[in-house]
């Protein structure tokens, strides 16, 4: 089974996965539990996730902190976690409790992060290639997307837009894991195919 997992990745990816496992070693217990929540291993997890995000954004809305205060508070929490996790967790979780199954899951999580990074690099390279080979299409695409985002940002409250974006990003791993996005994507493709077929039939009747 381990050999099958190894064959799925290139040599470069295996090196990056190994290095990432070392870099995140002190965080592996937190990462395992976070992965369980993000993948919705229990039906209650997405409810808990959305509830926590809602409480957090309601608190931000109520306090109305300035941008500097919000960024400073966020960085302060990250620094506290960066200090407490490596120093506090080992006192409660013994190394002997780390099982082979957990190690395999930790490896898969790191592999997913590396693959996500590679996917973003491919998207960036595709974008740059489009800019060089088809500058007009690149210009029209960028202008259309930015104009749409500007309109949405003007029509929707900033905090609400941020809340919806954060909720979507946090729920995305669970939706992908349970095939929810795939299901609606296929359903959309089928509906579009039906519409295209109707349009083609209507044109054929006119001809």
Domain that holds residue 44: 2-178
The per-residue pLDDT for 123 is 87
The per-residue pLDDT for 75 is 92
Domain annotation covers residue 201: no
Domain annotation covers residue 200: no
Domain annotation covers residue 6: yes
Domain annotation covers residue 116: yes
The per-residue pLDDT for 44 is 93
Q: How would you write the pLDDT of the chain (207 residues) with one tens digit per residue?
A: 454 555 677 788 889 999 999 988 888 888 898 999 999 999 999 999 999 999 999 998 898 888 899 889 989 998 988 888 777 766 766 655 778 888 899 999 999 999 999 999 998 898 888 888 888 888 888 899 899 988 988 888 888 888 999 999 999 989 888 888 888 888 888 888 888 777 777 777 766
How many domains, the chain?
A: 1
Question: Which residues in 24-62 are b (16+ Cβ under 10 Å) and which e?
Answer: eeebbbeeeeebebbbbeeeeebeebeeeeeeebeeeee
Query: What's the token pair of residue 7?
Result: 């064959």
The per-residue pLDDT for 57 is 92
Q: What are phi and psi of 90, to 5 degrees?
A: -60, -25
Report pTM. 0.77
The per-residue pLDDT for 5 is 55
Domain annotation covers residue 109: yes
DSSP 8-state code for residue 99: -
The per-residue pLDDT for 7 is 62
The per-residue pLDDT for 189 is 84
Domain annotation covers residue 192: no
Domain annotation covers residue 79: yes
DSSP structure string for 10-74: -HHHHHHHHHHHHHTGGGHHHHHHHHHHHTTSSTTHHHHHHHHHHHHHHHHHHH---HHHHHHHH
């Amino acid at each position: 089974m381990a050999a099958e997992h190894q064959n799925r990745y290139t040599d470069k990816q295996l090196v990056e996965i190994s290095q990432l496992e070392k870099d995140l070693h002190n965080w592996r217990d937190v990462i395992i539990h976070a992965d369980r929540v993000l993948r919705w291993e229990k039906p209650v997890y997405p409810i808990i996730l959305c509830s926590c995000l809602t409480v957090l954004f309601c608190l931000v809305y109520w306090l109305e902190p300035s941008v500097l205060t919000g960024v400073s508070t966020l960085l302060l929490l990250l620094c506290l976690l960066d200090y407490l996790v490596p120093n506090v967790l080992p006192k409660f979780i013994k190394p002997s409790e780390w099982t082979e199954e957990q190690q395999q899951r930790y490896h898969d999580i790191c592999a997913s992060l590396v693959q996500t990074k590679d996917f973003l690099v491919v998207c960036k390279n595709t974008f740059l290639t489009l800019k060089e080979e088809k500058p007009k299409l690149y210009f029209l695409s960028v202008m259309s997307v930015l104009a749409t985002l500007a309109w949405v940002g003007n029509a929707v409250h900033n905090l609400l837009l941020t809340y919806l974006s954060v909720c979507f990003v946090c729920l995305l791993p669970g939706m992908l894991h349970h095939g929810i996005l795939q299901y609606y994507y296929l359903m959309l493709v089928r509906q579009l195919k039906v519409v295209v077929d109707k349009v083609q039939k209507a044109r054929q009747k006119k001809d």
